[in-house]
Amino acid sequence: MAVEAFDLLDEALQHELLEGLKDHDVAHFFESLDPDDRVRLMDEMPASVARQMMRHLDERERNLTNIVLGYDLGTIGRHMSPEFVALRQELTVAEALQKVRAQAEDAETIYTVPVVDASRMLQGVVSPATC
């Protein structure tokens, strides 16, 4: 619906809207969103507006957002956060806790932690609360 409404605006008004999106507060709000939330918002924007907003992101945030955008609409990948902590199965408990603590600030949430093998195939999950 947003795309259709944007397309109905005359070109001057479209340009004015895009110029208004350069506002620092809007860019800061957009960057403060988690990548999966940012993509859900972008899915409601006209493509030209979404591209404009992506230009304001730093490289890390743009890369994280592109991971989520890589999944097709309607798939679970489009709703998952790319900011998570995964552990290799050969880590000791002490090493695992150290890694979780070191990466916790960059992870969106940590309810369970996937345990993966050398090929990054899921072997199981652990809860940091049980360690």
Give me the residue spans of the domains in the chain. 2-79, 87-130
pLDDT tens digit string along 5-63? Answer: 766 878 777 777 767 766 677 778 888 888 998 998 898 888 888 888 898 899 999 99
Q: Is 6 helix (H, G, I), strand (E, B) or coil?
A: helix
- Assess contact for 75 and 31: CB atoms under 8 A: no
* DSSP one-letter string for 20-75: HTT-HHHHHHHHHS-HHHHHHHHTTS-HHHHHHHHHTS-HHHHHHHHHHHTSPTTS
Which range is most confident: 45-49, 98-102, 107-111?
A: 98-102
- Whole-number Å distance between alpha carbons of 47 and 3: 7
In terms of Cβ atoms closer than 10 Å to its own Cβ (0-12, 13-18, 19+), residue 33 is: middle
